[in-house]
Copies of this chain bind each other. A is one copy, B any other.
Amino acid sequence: MDDIGHKDGSGSEAISVRATRIQDVAKLADVSTATVSRALATPERVSPEARARVLEAIAKTGYVPNPAARTLRSQKTYMVLVVLPDLANTFFSKILRGIEETLFEAGYGMIIGDLDGSPEKEAHFAAFTAAGRVDGAILLNGHLFGQSRGGEGISARITIPLVALCESIPGADIPQIEIDNRAAASRMTQHLASLGHRSIAYVSGPASNILERERFQGFKDGLAASGLPFEPVQVIPGDYTIEAGVRAGRDIVARRDRPTAVFCTSDEMAIGLMRTLFSAGLRVPDDISVAGFDDIDFAVVAEPSLTTIRQPRRELGQAAASALIDLLQGRPSPKRIRLETELVIRDSVAPL
C-alpha cells in the first residue's frame, strides 16, 4: 500500500454552515412555518399567493427539509432495508437493481444488510430495524429476524412491513415473491429425460436451504413423471458456488459409472463443472449433458453455452419492492407472487 501524503479531518469539522430551516423560509415568505409546511405537503390548502411566495423563498434559499426532524415527527424514514446472504453473489446484484429502481421511483432509499453468514450481523440488522431506522424490509435470506437463533426478544418488536423474496419463509404471514422452484426443477429434469437420459445426476445447493429443498423435490417429481427411479447416488452435494461445481466435476470424472446428464442447481456450479469435465477430456454435450439454473450473464458465453432455467431477477426485485411499497402506503398487497421461469435451451444439453 503506497500512501502518499495526508489530509486532515477538516472535512468533518467544516465550519458548520447551518442549513436553511423552515423558519428561514417562513420569515422570507412572510408566513408561518405551518404555512410553509402545508405549501409543500398539501398545496391545495394554501392560497395561491402564499404558495407562490413560499415557493419563491424556497427557490431563493435552496431549502431542503431536514429528514431527521421529519422522521422524528412523522415516524416515516423513507428507507427500506434489504437483507441478503451474500452481496458478492452475481445472482443477487441483478435482483438488487430491480429493488433499487422501484424503491427509487417511489421515493424510498435502499439500505443493504449483507449477512455474510454471521448471526451477529443478523442480530444487528434486527436491532437496526427494531429501532425504527427503516419503514420496511425485504428479506432474501429465507427466514425472519431472529428466527434461527434466539433473537425473539428483538424480533418481537419488529412491527414494520416485511416481504420475503426468492426464499419463501414458511408460516410467515407476509407477502412472498418467488419463482416456482419445484416446477422449474421438475421441468428441467423432464427435459433431460425426454432427450433419452436415464442416468441424471443432481448437484444440490446447501441442504438447509429452502430453495434447495424445493428444487430437490422438483428433481424427484421430474424423475417420477418420466418414469425414472430416484437413486441417492445421483445426488452430489454443492452450495451454488463455482468451486462446488468444480468439486462435483471431479466427483463425476472419478466415477466408474457416469451419469449421462447432470442437473446443477446454479449456473455457477454448472460452469465450474463443465470446466472440470473439459479438463478431464470429457466433452459436453457429446459425452455428458449439463444443465444449470438461473441464467446468469455468463451462461450464454460458457463453452458450450448453457441450457438453464431463466429466473426474471430484475422483475423479482421489482415485484418485491412494489409489494412492500403497497404495504407501506396502506394499500392491500398480493400475498404471494410467483413469477414465471423459462427453460432456455442452448448447447450444453443434447439427446443421448
Binds B, one of A43-51, A130-138, A195-203, A209-217: A130-138
Answer whether A13 and B114 are a contact pair too, CB < 8 Å, given A5-B335, A5-B336, A124-B104. Answer: no
Contact: A96 with B87, CB < 8 Å? yes
| A255: Cβ under 8 A from any B Cβ | no
Contacts of A109 in B (CB 8 A): 111, 128, 133
Contact: A114 with B101, CB < 8 Å? yes
Smallest Cβ distance from A70 to chain B, in angstroms? 8
Interface size class of A (residues with CB under 8 A): 35 or more
- Residue-wise interface mask of A (318-352) relative to B, using a CB-CB cutoff of 8 A (1 in contact, 0 not): 01000000111111111111111000000000000
Complex CA gap A168/B268 in Å reads: 32
Contact: B90 with A114, CB < 8 Å? no
**In the complex, which of the residues A1, A17, A89 has the most CB atoms of chain B within 10 Å of its own CB atom?**
A1
Contact: A66 with B72, CB < 8 Å? yes
Main secondary structure of the interface of A (DSSP, over half): mixed
| A286: Cβ under 8 A from any B Cβ | no
Complex CA gap A1/B338 in Å reads: 6
Smallest Cβ distance from A175 to chain B, in angstroms? 6
Closest B residue, CB atoms, query A154: B62
Contact: B66 with A132, CB < 8 Å? yes
B-binding residues in A (CB < 8 A): 1-9, 11-14, 17, 19, 62, 64-69, 71-72, 77, 79, 86-90, 92-94, 96-97, 100-101, 104, 109-112, 114, 116, 121, 124, 127-128, 130-133, 135-136, 153-154, 157, 159-162, 173-175, 242, 245-246, 268, 271-272, 275, 278, 297-298, 300-303, 319, 326-340
Closest 9 CB pairs of A and B: A68-B71, A11-B161, A68-B72, A9-B330, A275-B301, A7-B335, A5-B335, A64-B131, A88-B97
